[in-house]
Structure 1
Amino acid sequence: MVKKAIIPAAGYGTRNLPITKVLPKEMLPICGRPAIDYLVEEAISSGIEQILIIVSRSKNMILDYFDRSPELEAHLKAKNKDSLSPELLIPNIHIQYVRQPNANGLGDAILLGRNFVGNEPFAVMLPDEIILSDQQAPLLQLIETFKKCKGNAIGLKAMNLSELKKYGVVKPQFLQDKLYQLKHIVEKPQNEAPSNLAVIGRYVFDPKIFDYLTGVQPGVEGEIQLTDAINAMIPQSNSYGLEIEGQRFDIANTSDYIKLINLIYSKGNSVNLLED
């Protein structure tokens, strides 16, 4: 039912400076793989068949990563290192790209995917956030919620009060275990937050969201905010929030980034960098 996903990857990555002057944040290494590779893996395990990655002019490295490297393949063959060839396999999923000419916000980036999506429901995955779950894939949890509730499904996480000012925070109506109907979202509340449930980087949308995105007026710094479109849609079409099962890591946060690397390494999913 939900077969398409958009990954917005055109931002400047200012939280990760200075490394993001030369390396896209989506390519930050996590045990031998770039961060965005983990999102693609999650999408595949959730039943996604097509991905649109929104890039900017400085993000060609992402395109290169998900493309073949005939020269490297030939080098490995010539040096009798064919055992490393599986590391070069391209994910078995259709990936295409579009450039965002100007950094005009998350809502503007998602609007660029309108033709890609058509009239189908779709997912949005933010590459800042890696979510690891020993159970059902994080995105699949939201897809199941979308199918059951027949409305937008948005990933949530309970956070400490001191953290809420950095996120969109929902005003929820409790329905059942970890599932809520959303009444409103407050973007980065600096004073009193409506709850302790923050929006995290996984969404599943009805394609009608594009109609609301086109009506959003530019906000701070001229950006089109996704939150504004969701709030405009709520009175007309129910939206739901789900506390996603799994460990969430914000790779722009140094502490989270190191914890994520240590966790993946401890599970034996690292690359042996000493083989070459």
Structure 2
Amino acid sequence: MIRKAIIPAAGYGIRNLPATKVIPKELFPIGNKPAIDYVVAEAVQAGVTDILIVLSRNKTEVMNYFDRSPELESYLIERQKESLLPLIAPTTLRIQYVRQQDPLGLGHAIQLGESFAAGEPFAIMLPDQISLSRTSMLSPLIKCFEQYRTNVIGLQSMKQELLINYGVVSASRIKARTYDIDSIVEKPSVPPSQLAVMGRYIVKPNIFDKLRQTKPGFNGEIQLTDALNNACQSSRMIGYAYNERWYDTSIEEQYIKLQHRALQLKTRNNK
């Protein structure tokens, strides 16, 4: 069983400037909840009990969101609005935080979670990639891990022109939704397939050894993709292809579509 998940949330959100100068992209609203709330709820639904969120020094608002707000609680009680208290109740999930002091890449952010993982396999969940599916997108990856006992990566078939934004795999199909992954390349100019990595991973603890062996690449950053590519050269790696709709909150057009879809679902559920 996968009990732990790491959510890397330390980036500057360059693609979302100028809003991210003051608002972490992880707190961008989707309906009346921030993006990272959806990711944490997804982890809980899949059975995760402990989460490590990797932050930078300008992301303390993320910590505040998952903490209590006694002042706001008192305000609501004084005005007889106790019915709103469940909306601001802190999560019962165990959430820890660590700071990434320098922007050295996604791979470096994951390295900071080695003591948190404590030798267990764990999930990695990127908070800017979200699905509004009623079932957790992490659950099928966990099932694949339990079957194959090796690293598992979430995938989705993408249009050719969008692949430049993602890691892309070279893979061979095992059955309907599962693939053997041969290699992964980050933001390729010539994609090896149309299967893009969708920001959900289940990895074994030896990924930390691979990260230590990974040399800094573009902009001096340590890339998780490079470490995973290294890992699949020496051991089996499975890809699970989602059919569900995903949205990337870093891409303005997709974020707007996500907002619209969330409103549609809320309206439908309120009828």
- Same-fold call, TM > 0.5? yes
* TM-score, normalising length: structure 2: 0.96
The question of 1:14 aligning with 2:41 is answered no
Task: Give every structure 1 segment of 4 or more consecutive aligned residues whose post-TM-superposition deviation is greater than 3 Å.
Answer: none
2:173–2:180 contact (8 Å) kept in structure 1: yes
Superposed CA RMSD in Å reads 1.3
CA distance in 1, matches of 2:267, 2:143: 27
Q: What is aligned with 1:157?
A: 156
* TM-score, normalising length: structure 1: 0.95
Q: For 1:223-234, list aligned pairs within 5 A.
A: 223-234=221-232
1:132–1:138 contact (8 Å) kept in structure 2: no
Identity of aligned residues (%): 48
The question of 1:72 aligning with 2:63 is answered no
Report deviation, 1:235: 2.4
CA distance in 2, matches of 1:102, 1:25: 18
CA distance in 2, matches of 1:246, 1:188: 22
Report deviation, 1:269: 7.0
Q: What is aligned with 2:264?
A: 266
Q: What is aligned with 2:233?
A: 235
Counterpart selection for 1:201 from 179, 199, 202:
199
CA distance in 1, matches of 2:123, 2:267: 26
The question of 1:97 aligning with 2:93 is answered no
Question: 1:88-127 deviations in whole A, cap 9, x for unaligned?
Answer: 1112210010000001000000000000001111000001
Q: What is aligned with 2:184?
A: 185
Aligned partner letter, 2:42: E
Give the secondary structure class of the aligned counterpart of 1:68: coil
Structure 2: which 5+ runs fail to align? none
Give the secondary structure class of the aligned counterpart of 2:131: strand
Aligned partner letter, 1:96: Q
Give the secondary structure class of the aligned counterpart of 2:233: coil
2:122–2:202 contact (8 Å) kept in structure 1: yes
1:165–1:189 contact (8 Å) kept in structure 2: yes
Q: What is aligned with 1:81?
A: 81
The question of 1:47 aligning with 2:47 is answered yes
Q: Which moved more, 1:83-92 or 1:45-54?
A: 83-92
Q: For 1:67-146, list aligned pairs within 5 A.
A: 67-134=67-134, 136-146=135-145
CA distance in 2, matches of 1:269, 1:33: 15
Aligned partner letter, 1:263: R
Give the secondary structure class of the aligned counterpart of 1:44: helix
1:133–1:245 contact (8 Å) kept in structure 2: no
Q: What is aligned with 2:23?
A: 23
Structure 1: which 5+ runs fail to align? none
